[in-house]
Amino acid sequence: MTIPKIAVGDTLSLKKKHPCGSSDFEVLRVGSDIRIVCRGCGRDLTLPREKLEKAIRRIHHPEDAKENGGQTP
């Protein structure tokens, strides 16, 4: 079992869609609870990390998108 790594600024595609129809959420804050904002309607919600991890279908890291000039820490 792999534990997804969630960071602020990531976009999460969840298995469950928001009532507005969007399934993409941006991460605002990470802790024991994770705060995300819906890309579709802009509503933010806070979920326990454990619950959110189970609902993730895919994580988009902003760094992965830009392939030119990327810095590796």
DSSP codes of every residue in 6-60: --TT-EEEESSPPTTS--EEEEEEESSEEEEEETTT--EEEEEHHHHHHHEEEEE
Question: Which pair of structure tokens corresponds to residue 72?
Answer: 């590796």
Residue 36 contacts Zn ion per CB under 5 A: no
* Binding to Zn ion, residues 43-72 (CB under 5 A): none
**41 part of the interface to Zn ion, by CB under 5 A:** yes
| Listed ranges 1-9, 31-39, 50-58, 65-73: which one lies at the site for Zn ion (CB under 5 A) | 31-39
| Binding positions for Zn ion, rule: CB under 5 A | 18, 20, 22, 38, 40-41
